[in-house]
Amino acid sequence: MMPSFRGKRSARTSVEIDGITVPVRVHYERRRNVRCSIGQKEAILRLPNYLLPGQEKKHWQWFTDWLSKNKEALREKFSPDLYEDGDLLTVGSRSYIIKIEYSDNKSHTGKVTKDGFIALKLVKEDPQLARSVKRLLSRIVAKDFQAEMEGRVDHWNDNYFKTEINSVRLKYNSSNWGSCSSKGN
């Protein structure tokens, strides 16, 4: 069913597609056509400013049908990665086995053990557990790859750029591969 957003320039809602809750942003714009896409954080529906109520409902149905046809992309983008004890995580040429232990601590912790495991201590009650674990794993793996990445950056810098490097940091980026600051970071 189409939510009503009359009088707004943009609005947020969500739609359920085959068990996947997809966040949706609806934009009303000066345009003649209808357009939709799957963005980084939400599906986007762009509608003309002036539509008759029946047209709006028709376009919403078309949009939900389009989302249903793209459910694999939706599943990949909007389904939380749920990690379980014993799962295999492969990053580049390295593989880790995840060991999970739940605790009453106030924050999540984790580390790479000498035998190639990632040992996680997770808080029992976390409504954003999947998101928190994803961030934690990102930080743990970045720390494990830190020396290798510094070596690669030094190699390319020595061969091509020949500038002073202050530090190399690895982060979980979604839109760029890297950046350099004026301070050599």
- Least confident window among 4-8, 33-37, 106-110, 181-185: 4-8
- Least confident window among 6-10, 35-39, 52-56, 93-97: 6-10
User: Rounded mean pLDDT of 6-30?
Assistant: 87
Confidence of residue 171 (pLDDT cuts 50, 70, 90): confident
**pLDDT tens column, 38-61:** 998 899 999 998 888 789 899 999
Q: pLDDT value at position 166?
A: 94
Q: pLDDT value at position 5?
A: 59
Q: pLDDT value at position 75?
A: 86
Burial 116-154 (b: 16+ CB within 10 A, else e): eebbbbbeeeeeebeeebeebbeebbeebeeeeeeeebe
List of residues 6+ apart from 47 with CB closer than 8 A: 26, 27, 28, 29, 31, 34, 56, 59
pTM: 0.66
pLDDT for 7 beyond 90 = no
